[in-house]
Amino acid sequence: MIFRAVRRCSIAVALLFLPLAAAGAQSADSIAVRAAMVEFIDALNALDVARMSAGFADDITAFVPSAQVDRVEGKAAVVEIFRAFAERAKTLPRTTAVPEDMRVEVSGSLAVVHFMVRGTAPAPTRRRTFVFRRVGQRWLISHFHASDLVSPAR
């Protein structure tokens, strides 16, 4: 009888703390995804194509309207777009992408990160959405979508 009461109490306590444990795991994943996003942005700002590539899943897809109209498919094709970008950017005055209003949403082995990079007018506002997928212990970019919006003149 006492054993049953202790067991019920143990189960009740475990059920009480289960949501807290799940929230902690989600928080840890959010931190890991944010770190992976920051690593990619740092590599982008450094024009380090090898570091950028290390954050891509092999089957990555992307919409990069400044590079091509159609969806880009596969790591090699996406890396080539960033290689061309890095080569062009080396000939221009350096700018640094600083994400604003970054949001990270994690659900299981998938995560979505979205943010904006604002420039001073007439520069466009760069809107970015990244989808990460957990592969082993790492969060890799499996898709991203880029779009730019030029604010109308007032």
Task: Provide the residue ranges of all domains of the chain, joining segments of one domain with +.
Answer: 2-149
4-27: average pLDDT: 42
Beta-strand (E) ranges in 4-149?
56-63, 72-73, 100-107, 110-117, 125-135, 138-149
* Entry pTM: 0.78
Predicted confidence band at 39 (pLDDT cuts at 50, 70, 90)? very high
What are residue 139's DSSP bridge partners? 134
Q: Which fold has domain 2-149?
A: Nuclear Transport Factor 2; Chain: A, (3.10.450)
What pLDDT digit, counting tens, does each position of 124-137 carry? 889 999 999 999 99
Residue 151 predicted with pLDDT over 90: no
Question: Which CA distances in Å does 56 have to 30, 48, 95?
Answer: 18, 13, 23
Mapped onto helix, strand or coil, the DSSP state of residue 83 is helix
